[in-house]
A and B are shown apart, each in its own frame.
Chain A
Amino acid sequence: MHDIALDEKILAKNDALARENREALKRHGIFSINMVSSPGSGKTTIIEKTAERLRNRVGMAVIEGDMQTDLDAQRIARCRIPVRQITTGRACHLDAHMVHHALPWVFGLENVRLLIIENVGNMVCPAEYDLGEEMKVAVMSVTEGDDKPLKYPALFHAAKALLINKTDLVRFTDFDLRRAEENALKVNPRLTVFTMSCTDGTGLGEWAAFLAAHSVQ
């Protein structure tokens, strides 16, 4: 019997491709975000509203990750933003390899400065897979629990920004905005937190300004 000592990262291949993606995006001067949340927290609607505010100022492209259908991509296309759908089939997350194959499409577009990648709706699995994005953005909504950051710490720790969405509904729930923010900052004191409502427009301006500032003009 032989013992082989390894110390090899299990996701080494994904991480190497993610590094390649990150370098390629930087070379093209594109700022990229990877939006992660549970299903139904409003990621696609946030992208639609972001597009309305930014498309005339910042060149945008969107990669949509879903297990099935291109319904979300159709929604983004109606906002007159270039969009590419990745259907993952049985996989519950995007990985660096899938994004790697979509990047030549992004680089073939003109004047893209901001790439938004919408991950498959899932708070657990996408946290583990680096896609090569510049910034992971966690999204939660007030119809979920304000204890979510404590239940899914891997995501909230890996994220640089947190969007708390659907604030117009907060009066119908027992969601405590202050407690949600405190819980998120407990797990990750460096998080930048935005509260927003895509229905009444609260906070969307700040979020769009934040993205515009990060996207090379």
Chain B
Amino acid sequence: MRLHPLTSLAVAGSTAVITTAAASWPLSLAVIAAAVGLSALGGTLRPLLPAAAAVLVPLCLSLLVLHGLFFPEGVSVLAQWGPARVTTEGLSFALQRAAQLSAAVLALLVFSFSVNVPDLVAALPAKGIQGRVAFVLASTLTLMPAAASRLQRIRQAQEARGLVIRRGLLHRMAAFRLQAVPLVSALVEEAGTRGSALDARGFGSTGPRTSYREVPDRPLERLLRTFLLLAAVVAVAARLWQAGG
């Protein structure tokens, strides 16, 4: 059984919101475990892990160094080297924050790596604001590998012209100009043609739209989405009310 893309988005989004609102250490760990499990089940663990690591490793390291070593508010000192003081409060702050952020990030990444982007685009109404956001998302995802391979071609073409990139910041910056100028002007020019093409194919028209791709949706899922949305709102409201009261 395959979920409607908006349902998986609602699940991921509300999980991230509720975990942040709850700020509970066991819940964060449970969400992390569930996210990794789900991703393994769906077979997307292989691409997901490096992407998650690229985001989370520097973030968590930075938190640990920052709060583990320097937390002026901390009282119970575990160790001290010069200005650096390891405190219980600092460590627990860092670990809790790291777990909570990891949970939210993983929940959202499981969605991005499992969703079928064309289905997601087709599920959003083509007209108006959502259609335009969907266009930007889909077009960016298509252009990214295209831009990367064009950059590769530009590098080859310039190497073939005898340009050798040398070490050093100034040389790197000069090399940036050599490669960015052809890349950006080609992309901008192509975008100009694409703009005319899309206009001619009715991209800017304001009338009703239809969709060629069928994305099945069930009433039960629609109900589930409403429920998840409400749950997220309630979680946020409860936390704010608690803080205010």
B partners with A? no
